[in-house]
Structure 1
Amino acid sequence: MKIHEYQAKEMFSTYGIPVEQSIVCRSVEDAVKAYSRIDSQKVVVKAQVHTGGRGKAGGVKLAGDEIELRKHAAAILGMDIKGFKVDRILVGQAVNIAKEFYISYVIDRRSKSAILMLSKEGGMDIEQVAKDTPEKIHKFAIDPLVGVPDYLAREAAFKLFDDIKHVRNAAVIIQRLYKLFVDTDASLAEINPLVLTKEEEIIAIDAKMTFDDNALFRHPKIAALNEPTEEEKKELFAKSKGFSYVNLGGEIGCMVNGAGLAMATMDIIKLYGGNPANFLDIGGSSSPTKVIEAMRLLLNDKNVKVVLINIFGGITRCDDVAKGLLEAFRQIKTDIPVVIRLTGTNEKEGRAMLKDTDLHVAKTMSKATRIAVELAQQHQY
């Protein structure tokens, strides 16, 4: 789960991480009122959306007076940034930046721990730095039983600063950011940039946090900040109905029982020249209700041209699955071709039940996938 910059900065401030004075606004007039409350002639106007690249998209502007502020606020509000519409902005105190740095904590599966990443090359181009000059990104695996003691925080801070005064201040921020990261079950806590001002203050002028969805039950206040996208709403709906769904944007809708088989189904679709529209695991149940809800979810995707149902009957009997599918299609009428592969327990009985229907029935996964890809291609032309 993601939160906005201003929400992350509120958390930073609670944990004693220095941030600039800023106020979130939803209109130009709100921005003008905020400007009168901020103790600075120059302010930064920043779009608040759940995506990066705001600066390059024109979503971050500097204003030196109220006229400029009105102009920038009006331009940014309503702007589309990578498919996200800006409905609020952050008006913040401008600072005199001398140098920009990068600090983050993220979960690293390779080391099976949280990892601290730092760089002297903070700012908008940090992704390019990581790609072109990875040696400029310093990494420290964090032992969860030890955390970030003083010596480790100072060692990390020396990767950024030479002045011992700055090292001490940065070390405190590094430790506090880790505590916030752990306390909130975050999957990412990032400051980009952390700046050294010309007045020799160290301030986090941007903040980004994401959280482990599976741990949100422990953090109701954070969960209340969730603003799911339309695709995320579909995923939440699927979860409420007892199956797993992830949209992938292709043209072949997939309904499969079992996560491993679902992954293999997506792979073979790609192998035969198609594009899976989704990952959808309905689990082991052959419940008609679950199949109906899954089909509705697939058919509501405008990109879907063919539906591929791939069922391997183990404990679940194929004839029970066939009954469920027949009941589902009695309630759902569609012109979209549906290809079904049934294999496993009572597969002959299941296929026999589907024989005289409009459904395309195949014995093997390979055959079913080829049919689905061919039908999708025919639909395109």
Structure 2
Amino acid sequence: MKLHEYQAKELFGRYDLPVPEGQVAETEEDGLRIAEKLGCPVAVKAQVHAGGRGKAGGVRLARSQEEAREAVQTILGMTLQTAQTGGQGKIVRKILLEKGVDIEHEYYLSILPDRATASLMIIGSTEGGMNIEEVAATTPEKIIRVRVNPLTGLQPFHLRRMAFGLGLTGDPFKKFCVLLSNLYRAVTENDLLLAEINPLARTSDGAFVLLDAKAEVDSSALFRHKDLAALHDSGEEDPLEAEAKKYGLNYIRLDGTIGNMVNGAGLAMATMDMIKQAGAEPANFLDVGGGADAEMIENGFRILLSDPKVEAILINIFGGILRCDVLATGVVEAARKIGLSLPVVVRMEGTNVEEGRKILADSGLDLISATDLQDAAEKIGKIATAAAAH
């Protein structure tokens, strides 16, 4: 689960990490009041779950109250499009206003799991404020990596290695070591999958300030962190993904036109591969799970039909705990309630498959039956080709 910048800074502030004085606004009136209270220069920053906000016009530095007014009016309510927001972009419903900071140098700092080595990776660079992927590609020598064994934890030599790598000495060296130690504690105590500070600013007096902050909490650990779970912003989710979550469905929206419903993540991946090999593109990943009932199937089918980009649906179920007759009942009930205006190809095998096929056949609905996955993919491919021709 991703946190907004202001939420991440509130969390990091509990660990004595230095963040700028600031406040969140959801209306133009509040934004202008906060800007006047903080005084100029003031940074006005869009609060959406995406990087690259500055390049897209979502972050502005105002050096006067007039500039602050213009920034607040422009950013609040805008549709922000970055490389991470997708084609539709995201509407800015909140802005963070922060007091300006006198910056002497900017660094990059992050902590995240390194699954290849089962360690926590600390990444630092003297090139803060830049796209870190670009820095790694063009000047890899400017990226410092320090791996920490989570069983033994952060040690003083880890702190020294990163601080020396960033070229720090004297008082800034000591302050940075304290900062990194506190950041590591914030990561481990809150089950964070990512803590990123970009940029981490060093001021003229040698102090450090977190100018930006990203944090992502492991969703599987939210039961341990009720306070963080309460920070979830459903407005940042795709509406269909949020709807699916309410019914315990694993749904991810994609860019294609073929909606698909399966039971099992592995089967979902194989089904999407078969759709692509047939010359079509999947519109979603929808795994109803092994223990789905007729109601879950009905809700999943309704969500697929709710996507305006979907031109056809492929249902691919291997009946085990989820029996084929249960699947068929859910599909028939959903189609009758909502109406069936799209071609639907159904392939099912496993427990009670004959009963399931009979339910579909007796429904009177125009459903296309497939004998196996290859047959289903070929049929969905022909449907997609015909749709593209029109």
TM-score normalised per structure 1:
0.92
Cα separation, partners in 2 of 1:319 and 1:173, compared to 1, 3 Å: same
Letter in 1 for 2:61: L
Could you say which residue in structure 1 is the equivalent of 2:151? Answer: 145
Go from structure 1 to structure 2 and tell me whether the alpha carbon gap of 1:326 and 1:6 turns closer, same or farther (over 3 Å shift).
closer
Distance (Å, rounded) in 1 between the aligned partners of 2:52 and 2:345 = 41
Cα offsets for 1:22-44 (capped at 9, x unmatched): 22223343233323432x54222
Q: Equivalent residue of 1:51, what SS?
A: coil
Classify the secondary structure of the residue corresponding to 2:165: coil
2:289 is the counterpart of 1:283: yes
Does 1:269 find its partner at 2:268? no
Is the counterpart of residue 313 in structure 1 residue 319 in structure 2?
A: yes
Q: How big is the alpha-carbon RMSD for the aligned residues of Structure 1 and Structure 2? A: 2.1
Residue 222 (structure 2) aligns with: 216
Residue aligning to 2:45: 46
Encode CA deviations 1:312-343: one digit per residue, 9 max, x unaligned. 23455445543443444333421100001122
Q: What is the CA–CA distance in structure 2 between the aligned matches of 1:323 and 1:5, rounded to whole Å? A: 45
Judge which range, 297-306 or 141-150, deviates more.
141-150
Distance, in Å, in 2 between the alignment partners of 1:222 and 1:15 is 15
Q: Report the secondary structure of 1:368's partner residue.
A: helix
Q: Secondary structure at the match of 2:195?
A: strand
Answer yes or no: is the 8 Å Cα contact 1:190–1:208 preserved in 2.
yes
Given that 1:252 and 1:373 are in contact with CA atoms closer than 8 Å, whether structure 2 keeps it comes out as no
For the residues of structure 2 that align with 1:276 and 1:229, how far apart are their CA atoms? 24
Contact kept? 1:49, 1:86, Cα under 8 Å: yes
1:13-162 superposed matches below 5 A: 13-38=13-38, 41-82=40-81, 83-162=89-168
Task: Return closer, same or farther for 1:286/1:29 CA change in 2, 3 Å cut-off.
Answer: closer
Q: How does 1:188-227 map to 2 (within 5 A)?
A: 188-227=194-233
Cα pair 1:23 1:90 within 8 Å, conserved: yes
**CA distance in structure 1 between the aligned counterparts of 2:35 and 2:244, rounded to whole angstroms:** 44
Could you tell me whether the CA contact under 8 Å between 1:355 and 1:361 is conserved in 2? no
Deviation at 1:236, TM superposition (A): 4.3
- Equivalent-residue separation in structure 2 for 1:368 and 1:248 (angstroms): 20
Aligned equivalents of 2:190, 2:22: Cα separation in 1: 23
Cα distance in structure 1, aligned partners of 2:92 and 2:249: 32
Deviations 1:156-176 (A, max 9, x none): 111112323222111111110
Q: Secondary structure at the match of 1:68?
A: helix
Contiguous gaps of at least 5 residues in structure 1: none
From the superposition, tell whether residues 272 and 22 of structure 1 become closer, same or farther in structure 2 (CA, over 3 Å).
same
Name the CA distance, whole Å, in 2 between partners of 1:342 and 1:89.
Answer: 49
Q: CA deviation at 1:145?
A: 1.8
Cα distance between partner residues in 2 of 1:319 and 1:195? 61
User: How big is the shift at 1:114?
Assistant: 2.0
Length, aligned pairs only: 380
SS of equivalent residue, structure 1 residue 110: coil
Q: Is the CA contact 1:257–1:312 (under 8 Å) kept in the aligned structure 2?
A: yes
Moved more, 215-224 or 340-349: 340-349
Q: Distance in 1 between matches of 2:218 and 2:14?
A: 20
Name the SS for the 1:115 alignment partner: strand
The 10-residue stretch of structure 1 (294-303 or 314-323) with the greater mean CA deviation from structure 2: 314-323
Per-residue deviation, residues 265-315 of structure 1 (Å, max 9, x unmatched): 011111222111111112234632222111101000111110100112345
Query: Which of 350, 360, 370 is equivalent to 1:362?
Result: 370
Instruction: Please report how far the alpha carbon of residue 70 of structure 1 lies from its aligned counterpart in structure 2 after TM superposition.
Output: 1.2
Spell out, residue by residue over 1:46-75, the C-alpha distance to the aligned partner (whole angstroms, 9 max, x if none): 222211111111122222221221122212
Which has the higher mean CA deviation after the structures are superposed, 283-292 or 61-70?
283-292
SS in 2 for 1:312: strand
CA contact (8 A) 2:40 2:65 kept: no
What fraction of aligned residue pairs are identical, expressed as a percent?
Answer: 45
Shift of the 379–122 alpha-carbon distance from structure 1 to 2, 3 Å rule, reads: same
1:68-99 alpha-carbon deviations (Å, 9 max, x no partner) = 21122212212211211122222212122221
> Does 2:328 align with 1:298?
no
Distance in 2 between residues matched to 1:143 and 1:18, nearest whole Å: 26
In structure 2, stretches of 5+ residues that fail to align are 82-88
Once the two structures are superposed, residues 141-196 of structure 1 have per-residue CA deviations (whole angstroms, 9 ceiling, x without a partner) of 22112221222112211111232322211111111011111111111111100111
Alpha-carbon spacing, 1:238–1:91, altered in 2? closer, same or farther (3 Å) = closer
